[in-house]
Structure 1
Amino acid sequence: MAVGSGRFPRVAVLQGGMSAEREVSLATGHECAIALRAAGYEVVEVDAGPDLPEVLARLKPAVVFNALHGRWGEDGCVQGILEWLRIPYTHSGVLASALALDKQRTKEVYRAAGLPVVESLVVAREAVEAGHVLAPPYVVKPNNEGSSVGVYIVHPGSNAPRLAETMPAEVMVEAYVPGRELTTTVMGDRALLVTDIITDGWYDYHAKYAPGGSRHQIPADLPEEITAACLDYALRAHRALGCRGLSRTDFRWDEARGLAGLVLLETNTQPGMTPTSLAPEQAAHLGISFPELMDWMVRDASCDR
């Protein structure tokens, strides 16, 4: 469905929700609402809860801008509700959203598409705490959360980790890849740029969201071969998962191994969307302002694809 901002349609911005990423979603949603108003839309901000179908039926928005993060908002659940209500919505559909939030299934799709990944397992948290299920170094994280929520790095010589009670019953254990943290945004059928995310340590929740937690070099200073591979891999991942609209694929690159050291970590179907977030930052570098990006996303909104 194409909607022009000149007609001032009503857009409902879904934010908040019930996942571990609620606060990130509230920040994203508020910034998106400001930009959408600047682009000429009538905007209603909705804190998504169990009464969401009734709220949307009352509001009758022309489009839903999905600014939810994590479970229920990013995993196909709310997308299914919107399909049922026949309301066009931004970002990816039901299947792509469900696949991308499940990190292990994402890796299976990557492998089938010929994209490079590292060894990983999904195992019971009790097994992780009882002993090393992979040779250190490795990473332990929830299989279906984003924003680096609940990430543990286990170094050589360390004991098996003691996980927080908030960790799920099953977790992903993934071989640790040394090197640089890179990311590429896909906008429709176009891979934008590569950003080098520079931190003093792991790119964790604090590094992502705290002021000064990380620095972004854009475009990344990389060999042409690595830049081209990131752009190619991100677009192929977007298509293999069946994404639509905007996505962002994250990489680790071990410089010492050249192209063989570049691996995909995950694809974010609903990346952070504040003006200084990675995806909008790449768009801005190419001359696409934040309100213009929001407008494009609303125009791209749909059901059934």
Structure 2
Amino acid sequence: MTQSVANSNVNNASSQANTAAKDPSVFGKVAVIYGGNSNERAVSLDSGSAVLKALQSQGVDATHFDPKDQDVTELKNYDRVFNVLHGRGGEDGQLQGLLDWLQIPQTGSGVLASAIGMDKVRTKQLWQGCGLSTAPFAVLNKDTDWQQVVSALGLPLMVKPVHEGSSIGMSKVNTLDELPKAYEVASECGDVVMAEKWITGREFTIVIIDDEAYPVIRLQPADVSNFYDYEAKYNRNDTMYHIPCGLSEEEEAHLQALSLAAFKAVNAEGWGRVDAMQDEEGNFWLLEINTVPGMTSHSLVPMAAKARGMEFEDLCWHILAQTL
């Protein structure tokens, strides 16, 4: 992983901005929930262990809670939950609904935003209804006319499962003959699959914390003909992350405003991440939203926070403090 980071406008005061909590005892007993049974379990384990360590190092009474091994009703024994449960079960409204029922404060978005955000099709339909630019798409099934999809979206295109994150099950399709196989791969991850128009250009991610868009990050996979896939996100060390992102001041402000509007449109709260592309004509296209972003060593939320002068431990404290 290579980073290009310049902090010429670092706001060091942001490390605990709007965080009234100074004493870890105010949090009570905290369950850091991670692991689970989804296809993103491995990433969740990495994210959660980093968050747990960061909170414990600051004196927070935090404990690992893995719903794969523990009964979720045991969460009633905790005062609040830091949710780092990526994927289905933790990011789609199920955990959020349970915690609401138990009246336990939790980090991040509630039931509605989580359910919408985990469904890429519903998210894009909502954004379209709000007049926000998102890449054209089509829902696929085993009876789909592949030629019709290609005629509508062009080539190349992206095929992805609708209810997965971390780029799991995604494929870039360069020819018509590759489309059925890509559909098969994606369908193994879930019952709904979509194809999305391939946007040739630059890929960006925008972190949102406290209804504020943080410095935009430009993602540059080593294989520029491909995309920011699972390998590039978590395993490769030659992916480049650029802060500043290379946009003009006006372009970056526009992308931040677009992303914040997209975040609010799904009723997201607390913290999250929006992914977008800029095509060769300079137009921005929203791709998707992540309401429980990664917190691993390769993750983008800590990277954007660091560009604002917020170290990882402070970031975890700040997110937890949103539950007070």
TM normalised by structure 1 equals: 0.91
Aligned amino acid, residue 248 of structure 1: R
| Equivalent residue number for residue 19 of structure 1 | 38
TM-aligned CA deviation for residue 47 of structure 1: 1.1
Q: Which moved more, 1:209-218 or 1:280-289?
A: 209-218
Match for 2:55 among 36, 52, 59?
36
What code does the residue aligned with 1:217 have?
Answer: H
Aligned 1:247-286 pairs, distance under 5 A:
247-254=272-279, 256-258=280-282, 261-286=283-308
Map of 1:150 onto structure 2: 169
- For 2:158, give the aligned amino acid: V
Q: Does 2:24 correspond to 1:6?
A: yes
1:233-248 to structure 2, matched below 5 A, reads 233-248=258-273
Q: Pick closer, same or farther for the CA change 1:79–1:117 going to 2, 3 Å.
A: same
- For 1:245 and 1:213, the matched residues in 2 are separated by 31
Given that 1:134 and 1:173 are in contact with CA atoms closer than 8 Å, whether structure 2 keeps it comes out as: no
1:48-101 Cα offsets, whole Å, 9 max, x none, are 1385333213xx222100001111110000111111111100010000000011
1:86 aligns with 2:111: no
The answer to whether the Cα contact below 8 Å between 1:125 and 1:168 also exists between their aligned partners in 2 is no
**What secondary structure does 1:161 align onto?**
helix
- Alignment of 1:119 with 2:136, yes or no, is yes
Q: Once the two structures are superposed, what CA deviation does each residue of 1:97-131 show, in whole Å capped at 9, x if it has no partner?
A: 00011001111221222211121122214537x65
Q: Deviations over 1:262-282 (max 9, x none)?
A: 100001111111254101111
Question: Could you tell me whether the CA contact under 8 Å between 1:123 and 1:173 is conserved in 2?
Answer: yes
2:131 match: secondary structure: coil
Comparing 15-24 and 214-223, the one that deviates more: 214-223
Runs ≥4 residues deviating over 6 A: none
Q: Secondary structure at the match of 2:179?
A: coil
Which residue matches 1:203?
A: 228
Please give the root-mean-square deviation of Cα atoms over the aligned residues, in Å. Answer: 2.0
Displacement of 1:2 in angstroms is 7.6
Note if contact 1:275-1:290 (Cα within 8 Å) is conserved in structure 2: no
Asked if 2 retains the 8 angstrom alpha-carbon contact of 1:99 and 1:241, the reply is yes
**Structure 2 residues not aligned, in runs of 5+:** 1-18
Please say which of residues 162-171 and 38-47 is displaced more in the overlay. Answer: 162-171
Query: What residue in structure 2 maps to residue 217 of structure 1?
Result: 242
Task: State how far apart, in whole Å, the 2-side matches of 1:71 and 1:4 are.
Answer: 33
Conserved? CA contact 1:74–1:101, under 8 Å: yes
Q: State the distance in 2 between where 1:134 and 1:5 align.
A: 57
- Whole-angstrom CA distance in 2 between matches of 1:80 and 1:110: 24
- 1:188 alignment counterpart: 210
User: How many Å separate the matches in 1 of 2:236 and 2:229?
Assistant: 13
Measured in 2, the distance between the counterparts of 1:226 and 1:237 equals 16
Structure 1 gap segments, 5+ residues each: none
Distance in structure 1 (CA, Å) of the matches to 2:21 and 2:103: 15
Match of 1:231, SS state, is helix
- Deviations 1:213-268 (Å, cap 9, x if unpaired)? 511111201122321121101111111111111111001111x302xx21000011
Query: Contact between 1:138 and 1:153, CA under 8 Å: does it hold in 2?
Result: yes
Partner of 2:156: 137
**Cα distance in structure 2, aligned partners of 1:21 and 1:224:** 35
Which of 60, 65, 70 does residue 46 from structure 1 map onto? Answer: 65
- Once residues 169 and 49 of structure 2 are traced to their aligned partners in structure 1, the CA distance between those partners, rounded to angstroms, is 25
Find the aligned partners of 2:267 and 2:214 in 1 and give their Cα distance: 18
Task: Write the letter of the residue equivalent to 1:244.
Answer: E
Q: Secondary structure at the match of 1:127?
A: coil
> How many residues end up aligned between the 2 structures?
296
Which residue identity does 1:25 align to in structure 2? Answer: S
In structure 2, distance between residues paired with 1:207 and 1:29: 20
For residues 160 and 38 of structure 1, the distance between their equivalents in structure 2, rounded to whole angstroms, comes to 49
Cα distance, 1:253–1:93 mapped onto 2, change above 3 Å? same
TM-score using structure 2 length: 0.86
Assess if the C-alpha contact under 8 Å between 1:154 and 1:161 holds in 2. no
Q: Is contact 1:139-1:175 (8 Å) kept?
A: yes
